[in-house]
Structure 1
């Protein structure tokens, strides 16, 4: 059965609605960034650029780096944007956009998120790199899908018990990364741990301006959580959505973050631009090894 036009929306040129991309525009290896300006900061290292487009916050550049075809896509901020980006990317490679029918032979994408984050642990310093071994979904977006086959109930239940998680909130979800990509990105420069993904920047991440938090101690509970040597190393707004949707759709995903702040120590990088630039070159080299 064909997918209805109201469900799979295409632009007049046949490109997918939000990303403004056609199947030939994307590589099988994709780098996600949040900030659209970071797309150019990565693509400047490419040997050649074959395609570039932008619609709203979604900017894409595809080109060659040391002979490897790579696409860079800015997702914007938050799990809701990841829902758009990953579903439309999957449609580009796994749905025939002319017949609107899923393909019988499916394609797996390799997706690496390059981000910035704050460390929650005192021993993970600013200017280091952290690989998310798992994504901890605190925002609830993934509950819109059938996720029973991809979750880790043991870690989830332990986290709920440790934090006295409110029953009024969405139940936390834990999803593992792609071990193949993790191994490719790992070196003596990287730390590993669970990356927690919040649905907002202020209250959902424990920041107080003028509004009272539902749980003033939640950040401390997150910092001190440890289950079979799994601890939460950093907090951001995209990783769990990337891991969850990638697992469900059959893609490989791994998130690596430049640590520009340490919230346990109250420190901030003296040169955050440099550590982000270092992570960009590090990741590109790891992808072509």
Structure 2
């Protein structure tokens, strides 16, 4: 049996603390919001009460507090699948039960404007980690109760939201059709990934949602994703100042978690 006091290569925990997240046993609430950027954790801390900050290690910043009386932790995932998997696995080991990704995306259709929100019902993926935890090319689905609560909460707050499919890719540049200087003999240079995503019904593209949902399912976590629209690839609009969008993500998700708790009692 692995000792909790002495880390090993198999499970490099030290005194119950994981190797990546800057927190340990008893530090987390059962409900965790997961933004990508660690700087957003500090931004959102001002919206919680009774905040305890556990600091930051690499791309992982963690705080725990209360939102309108409800215990809540916020943990950043970093960018993309590998760091997101690390966050989810270690959060699960430390007692998390429900997670909601609160991040950004680019819309793929003109009617979804910057500053609005997408409640992810399902995610399609072009991600290595998602394939490890699911089946290659498979869809992953949000927890029905959580996604319904997110829609209800957005409506209650008077915020424009949509519900549907997001496409997740490991690539910010080539995989999202951004300009990259490539050698002429590179076979994928002319690929139109965003068109492929649209053909599969995706309303937006991000880098974490498919991983959040695929990994959470395997870990037994209830999971959902709420995405703020930072850009629109159909209109080429870009949201320069998205602080208010980030704060609204917490308002919507925090309220949604309290809705689900009330429905369980």
**Would the TM-score normalized by the shorter structure come out above 0.5?**
yes
Q: Distance in 1 between matches of 2:131 and 2:104?
A: 26
The match for 1:15 is 17
Whether 2:145 is the aligned partner of 1:180: answer yes
Q: Secondary structure at the match of 1:25?
A: coil
The match for 1:208 is 179
- Runs of 4 or more off by more than 6 Å in structure 1? none
User: 1:40, CA displacement in angstroms?
Assistant: 1.4
Q: Secondary structure at the match of 1:233?
A: strand
The match for 1:218 is 193
The match for 1:117 is 105
Q: Secondary structure at the match of 2:205?
A: strand
Q: Distance in 1 between matches of 2:72 and 2:63?
A: 8
Q: Secondary structure at the match of 1:69?
A: strand
The match for 1:5 is 8
- The counterpart of 2:206, out of the listed 215, 221, 236, is 236
Unmatched tracts of structure 2, length 5 or more: 260-265
Residue pair 1:52, 1:61 contacting (<8 A) in 2 also = yes
User: 1:17, CA displacement in angstroms?
Assistant: 0.8
User: 1:196, CA displacement in angstroms?
Assistant: 1.0
Q: Distance in 1 between matches of 2:219 and 2:239?
A: 36
- Of 268-277 and 35-44, deviating more is 268-277
Whether 2:54 is the aligned partner of 1:52: answer yes
Residue pair 1:33, 1:39 contacting (<8 A) in 2 also = yes
Unmatched tracts of structure 1, length 5 or more: 94-107, 149-170, 226-230
Alignment of 1:91-240 (within 5 A): 91-93=93-95, 109-145=97-133, 147=134, 171-187=136-152, 188=155, 189-211=160-182, 214=188, 215-225=190-200, 231-240=201-210
Q: Distance in 2 between matches of 1:43 and 1:287?
A: 17
Q: Distance in 2 between matches of 1:83 and 1:279?
A: 21
Residue pair 2:59, 2:78 contacting (<8 A) in 1 also = yes
Q: Distance in 2 between matches of 1:89 and 1:2?
A: 19
Residue pair 1:203, 1:213 contacting (<8 A) in 2 also = no
Q: CA RMSD in A?
A: 2.0
- The counterpart of 2:244, out of the listed 274, 283, 287, is 274
Residue pair 1:199, 1:237 contacting (<8 A) in 2 also = yes
The match for 1:258 is 228
User: 1:110, CA displacement in angstroms?
Assistant: 0.8
Count of residues paired in the alignment: 246
Q: Distance in 2 between matches of 1:213 and 1:259?
A: 31
